[in-house]
Amino acid sequence: MVEVGQFNTLRVVKEVPFGLYLEGGEWGEILLPNKFVPSGSAVGDELAVFLYFDSEDKIIATTQRPRATLGRCAYLKVIDVNPVGAFLDWGLDKDLLVPKPEQRRPMEKGKSYIVYLKQDGEGRLVASSKYDRFLDKWRCRLMEGDEVNLLIAESSDLGHKVIVNDSYWGLVHFDDVFQELRYGKRMRGYIKRVRDDGKLDVTLSRTGSDKIADLAERIVAELHKAGGFLPLHDKSAAEEIKQALGESKKSFKRAIGYLYKKNLIVIEAKGIRLVKGEAE
């Protein structure tokens, strides 16, 4: 089944002076303009293409990679505004429209916003900054400990609200934040708890022994980058550790204890050092 707003693998059925036509199922033959045709493509080849509607509302294919696909959220910049709505740069030749009724608040040129990619009543791809309407609040199938994709959205009295896997609301509590969380930034996270109301408590690092092992691995990587020595130790200030690694002092102490027991580091008066051999 051919899907607009998604990547599809389609077979080349015809070559014309201005491009290739692809087999589009119920859509018939779909044009891939010459400027997007991969070198050496020929009739019979299968190509991965993104499908959308051009300025004349005709379905068209491209090998460009948009910054959003249908049913997903993205953080995009407004490049123009007119009475119809705001136009976003999403990486394709044709800009993405946010119609005025789909704007949570009036959008301004030059600013960036989180939007959700949807289809309008005519099937055309448009964006909406009223993304809350599209997040499922009751059917979460995620479980505690699952690794998820986060999009940092809003702040609340308890912490930072995040969009989880482009589908659900989650919350990173302030007590679990040890790094800068910037609006519109994508990050990896982990499910801490699935609440009765369907919302999710999220952390930015694994919990328990998995978290300590991950942090220990990261510390070793930082030691390698720094030539084998870091000026951090179990007496370092919590803020210093937070700035350097984005972690709590408690987690850091557990991680370097883990590395010390494995004889991977030595703890000196002014920092930690990789043991000889590990630094090479």
pLDDT in tens, 120-129: 998 899 999 9
How many other CB atoms are found less than 10 A from the CB of residue 59?
17
Considering only CA atoms, which of 203, 207, 139 is closest in space to residue 174? 203
Predicted structure pTM score: 0.74
User: For 51-72, what is the mean pLDDT?
Assistant: 94
User: For 209-213, what is the mean pLDDT?
Assistant: 69
> Which of 31-40, 170-179, 219-228, 257-266 reaches the highest mean pLDDT?
31-40
**CATH class of the domain comprising 147-203:** mainly beta
Higher confidence at residue 180 or residue 193?
Answer: 193
Gap between the Cα atoms of 49 and 69, Å rounded: 12
Higher confidence at residue 114 or residue 271?
Answer: 114
pLDDT bin (cut points 50, 70, 90) of residue 262 is: confident
E strand or H helix that includes residue 169: strand 168-173
> Which residue in the block uniquely carries the two structure tokens 């200030």?
237
- Which CATH number is 7-62's, of 3.40.50.150, 2.40.50.140, 3.30.360.10, 1.10.3720.10? 2.40.50.140
| 157 pLDDT higher than 60 | yes
DSSP state for residue 117 in the 8-state scheme: E
User: For 40-65, what is the mean pLDDT?
Assistant: 94
- Which CATH number is 208-274's, of 1.10.10.10, 1.20.1090.10, 3.30.70.100, 1.10.510.10? 1.10.10.10
